[in-house]
Chain A
């Protein structure tokens, strides 16, 4: 503001200058130093303390350091897994979104790392690059339960509809881990990874059809199928004698305990099918079934149909004695015979694949007509029929065939209205007598004192 011509009231001089003291504009007389005017209202606002720090630095604000580090971790995980760039980009987007959500912004750094892995996992699933949660847990060195919890929360928050895990897809990736090519092991124990995988995938499909896979952890099943596939590719004594332990040591993978049980279950299924092979004369047992595995897998659909048909015939023979209603069984067996007639006993593997779709329906249907008579006998059944249905069907989930023994159930309680009289004596039985209370208090005091010393 230019000095307007005024006179200083103190000394009368006209030598007045503008002076800014503490940002306050003042007009001061040069000669005597008195302040002529101050606090003149100005046009521009010099409000200083009203603007907060975060607002003044907003433009220049850097993204959170942990977010950057997290994104780099996502990238690292993607590089380790060797996924394509599309998955990498997706994971990074998801991570940024999830990170800034209120559910994840304040969690520990460890959880944020788990979140990074889960983002990679969900992107892989969405873009058809199958990996297991176990792989991610391994990479992150985190507890699979924690990974699972974070994963489920994340897909809920980001509202992602991820496709479900399919074991066949992961099979190939899994089998790459096993170091049993001729570079790593002696020639007679070596196997070409392509053959191994192909057979293992067929075994896994068979296991899935016969209820071994549903509800179970996938990795032991994959391990079991690779082991059995390796054994059956050259079923000589040497290979058959090698236990799972030694196999895993040789292939340099960590053995999984449930794999032993899966091996037993799969061998049982293979035996059931092996019995149906028309040109095998001797009894098929878990010991000699490995030689038949190649044939079993090649003709597995036809063998499944035969096995189910044989089973139905046995059941029908049994039920005729008891006079059960055989209508569902007839319908099912007619379906089966239709398909049976269309195909000769030894179709090629390709034909089998083509008929997979049509064969599956009657097969699944065949499992169940047997359960119809039992299932519809009404609710509130005692336990006796329930385990039966597992044993009457040829293929059933193992948890049904071998149910866990439950402790004896308490007898049904009498009907109660909720408003009955409550007897005093019953209530008194829950209250200590005065003497008892005193002794209890004393004992507690003594115990706590002895703990302190």
Chain B
């Protein structure tokens, strides 16, 4: 009997939504038809499993100018919650208490404060993506390339520069190092240069300019063109152990875990195209990015997987 009542209720609430979005009128409630759903008030509802979409949809509910009883508010709230409950199982569970707290706050304040029951709290802003997990990957290495646009005499450079080494039998480039930012550059006779070891994009650019300046000072007509970041490597720690055997079973199409070859799991994420090395200690290395945002996105994508995973 409850199920039919629930269905009717949902149909009503869906109709109500459309109605509200257009008109902002008070609700003529289906109070009579809505069964008194025995639910706890919204504050106690654990909405932490709800996905992000809920936060984006709540603003639409904020237009409600309703003088309904808090019971209906709460049941509407729970209606929304229950609606999403079916989706929650298909999405990765996000059990972050921080997020849960923010969503439940949204829950209470979304119903615009006309009743004495709901507190007059302002709408909390959407939490930005990086703060959801609370962990920000730290960049460890940036690889960039620059074209100096002039042919170089590597022997001359190796002779005149203090910080250069050149061993043509081993490798056909001069290896030059500077102290600040602490980086290494490979300078080829065609005038192309690879700069590695910087900890941020700006550091990499500054270092590349310094190398170009050194080459200039040595007498070559070097220019600084086509600076491009080719690869970024970052690492972070989620601070809990990870069952790699289980992760490779559930995400077989992306993961490769061979303990006999390498202790970490190699996860090739498709979007964004990043390779993650996940270790049992909870440390994660992300590589293959051309932009910082890709690293952050990749980590935000993997964090719920890892977190949802450890509770199983």
Contact = CB atoms under 8 A, between A and B. Distances in A.
Contact of B206 (A364, A379, A416): A416
B245 interface: yes
B252 interface: yes
Interface in A342-369: 361, 364-365, 367-368
A98 B244 CA distance: 29
Contacts of B163: 430
A214 B243 contact: yes
Given A214-B280, A416-B203, A427-B210, A371 B239 contact: yes
Contacts of A432: 159-162
A6 to B, nearest CB: 76
A256 to B, nearest CB: 12
A164 B257 contact: yes
B202 interface: yes
Interface string B251-289: 011001111110110000000000000011110000000
B236 A379 contact: yes
A391 interface: no
A218 B159 contact: no
A215 B159 contact: no
B279 A376 contact: no
A76 interface: no
Given A399-B281, A418-B201, A430-B163, A148 B258 contact: yes
Interface string A288-309: 0000000000000000000000
A378 B263 contact: no
Q: What class of interface size applies to chain A in its complex with B?
A: 35 or more
Interface stretch (B4-12, B48-56, B211-219): B211-219
Q: What class of interface size applies to chain B in its complex with A?
A: 35 or more
Interface in B198-230: 199-206, 209-210, 213-214, 217-218
Nearest to A134: B260
A144 interface: yes
A417 B202 contact: yes
A422 interface: yes
Contact of A376 (B134, B160, B258): B134
B161 A431 contact: yes
Given A371-B239, A430-B163, A437-B160, A418 B206 contact: yes
Contacts of A386: 237, 239
A161 B160 contact: no
A39 interface: no
Contact of A133 (B206, B210, B261, B310): B261
B19 interface: no
B121 interface: no
A152 B242 CA distance: 23
A426 B182 CA distance: 13
Contact of A427 (B217, B241, B245): B217
B263 A215 contact: yes
B218 A431 contact: yes
A418 B163 CA distance: 21
A371 B279 contact: no
Given A148-B258, A214-B280, A379 B209 contact: no
A219 B28 CA distance: 71
Nearest to B210: A422
A440 B161 CA distance: 11
B205 A419 contact: yes
A383 to B, nearest CB: 10
Given A217-B260, A376-B96, A418 B205 contact: yes
A246 B248 CA distance: 38
A371 B264 contact: no
A422 B178 contact: no
B258 A165 contact: yes
Contacts of B159: 432, 437, 440-441
B260 A165 contact: yes
A417 B201 CA distance: 9
Contacts of A429: 162
A152 B256 contact: yes
A161 B202 contact: no
A143 to B, nearest CB: 12
A413 B138 CA distance: 13
A262 B34 CA distance: 63
A334 B136 CA distance: 33
Contacts of A400: 241, 281-282
Given A165-B259, A216-B259, A431-B218, A426 B134 contact: no
Nearest to B199: A413
B168 to A, nearest CB: 13
Nearest to A137: B260
Nearest to B206: A418
A426 B180 CA distance: 9
Given A211-B241, A215-B264, A164 B312 contact: no
Contacts of A427: 210, 213-214, 217
A161 B257 CA distance: 12
Nearest to B208: A418
A133 B98 contact: no
A371 B214 CA distance: 50
Interface string A123-144: 0000000001110000000001
A165 to B, nearest CB: 7
Contacts of B252: 161, 164
A428 B237 CA distance: 41
B212 to A, nearest CB: 9
Nearest to A403: B281
B238 interface: yes
A152 B255 CA distance: 12
A375 B161 CA distance: 48
A361 B312 contact: yes
Interface string A362-398: 0011011001101111111000011001100000110
8 contacts: A152-B261, A214-B241, A364-B312, A375-B238, A379-B135, A386-B237, A415-B202, A431-B218
Interface of B: 96-98, 133-136, 138, 159-163, 178, 180-182, 199-206, 209-210, 213-214, 217-218, 236-245, 248-249, 252-253, 256-261, 263-264, 279-282, 310-312
